[in-house]
Amino acid sequence: MILKNIGVFYGKNLRYINSTNLKINNHYFDNISKYCSNENNEPIIDCEGLIILPGFINSHTHIGDSIAKDVNLDLTVNEKVNPIYGIKKQIINNSLPTHLESYMYSTCKSMIKKGITTFVDFREGGILGVTMLKKILRLVPIKCVILGRIDYYQTNEQIIKNRSIPKDKQEELRVVSNSVDGLGISGANEYSDSVLAHFSKINKFRAIHAAETEASIKKSKQLTGKSEIQRSLQIKPHFIIHMTYASKFDLHIVRKYTNNIVVCPRSNAAMAEKFPDVYSMLKLGYNVSLGTDNVMINSPDIFREMDYLWKTVMSINNKRIAPLDILKMATVNAGKIFRNKGVIQKGSIADCIFIKKHEVDLDPMHDPHAAIVHRASESSISAVMINGKIIHGKI
């Protein structure tokens, strides 16, 4: 397939090319040039008026609670999503699997329509939860990085006494980890140092929520005498979620273990938590990506996430993050973690979004990066492509 006369956000720096030709071959981007050859008489599509950008990567979701949208809005984070006693767990435990699957399916369809071609899901429920999500993914052409876990959490006494993970739970963890792309750990406050060290030995992606709330930071100090960030680093994470209350000191020590942070600003705001210090994270050289978090709390919409982040940073810091850097958070930066995604260049997987250049909210487009970050929306999308095939809309 050759796409003619198309605008492109090209390469790892998302350089905007107003008009070029783009060849897609065997699910991958091939030649990107005004002079694409067509030796094999491939179909040629005139894309005048369209811009192509990398498919969005939603770097942190919990789609299992899609059935509980906006339930008990005024509860705290723990009251809502604590893995042991939160209302989310109660709702999921009391829901029929077919109902849960139906709403998870709808969320996947919703993400595709919004230009999300890959999402990274913290999958609760052990092997049954993983099996349920895989069943959904066979019905929807969206990609998913599944980070599983087992339903095992320790008491305060077990944490203080540094109890290790029981043999039967070690076996359960082995089964789950063999079925997923990695581990998505709820938080350090649910486990002893011994268990966190055990998680670090799983040779796949490892991720953990950390410093999401002030209460979680205080609990770690009271329970163990150590900071939550320091304890979270014991799993040797490939990336950390939230860092909402991370201090400057925290940001410096995390750099020794990982350069990857996923922030979820709208979710934090919806839960009346602090805004993450994205400005400092970028200044320190972190690779920052965007997630939308729990569907029960927040809609899985990267357009809205980017717009909120851009404007809120300016409001708080009186300094603006470049729209280009925010667009990278939704594409290129996440692609650095999850490999061969989030970029349009020769050899990369052809996952992308086609944007209507002359859509009413975007035209005239004086700054293409800013236009996408704070003016584009689902209505701006002409089509979504995954693995070189149009799976939503048309071009």
Of the pLDDT bands very low, low, confident and very high (cuts 50, 70, 90), residue 334 is: very high
Given this model, what pLDDT does residue 222 score? 94
Q: Which pLDDT score, from 0 to 100, does residue 41 have?
A: 77
Q: How confident is the model at residue 31 (pLDDT cuts 50, 70, 90)?
A: confident
Q: What is the pLDDT of residues 264-316, one digit of tens each?
A: 999 999 988 899 999 999 999 999 999 999 999 999 999 999 999 999 999 99
Give the pLDDT score at 16. 97
What per-residue confidence (pLDDT) applies to 138? 97
Res. 115: pLDDT tops 90 = yes
Reply yes or no on whether the pLDDT at 84 is more than 90.
Answer: no
Partnered with residue 226 across adjacent β-strands are: none
59 backbone dihedrals φ, ψ, rounded to 5°:
-80, -5
Which residue shows structure tokens 């994470």? 237
Which pLDDT tens digit goes with each residue over 185-218? 999 999 999 999 999 999 999 999 999 999 999 9
Q: What is the pLDDT of residue 119?
A: 98
Per-residue b or e along 204-242, where b marks 16 or more CB atoms closer than 10 Å to that residue's CB: ebbbbbbbbbeebbebbeebbeebbbebbbbbebbbbbb
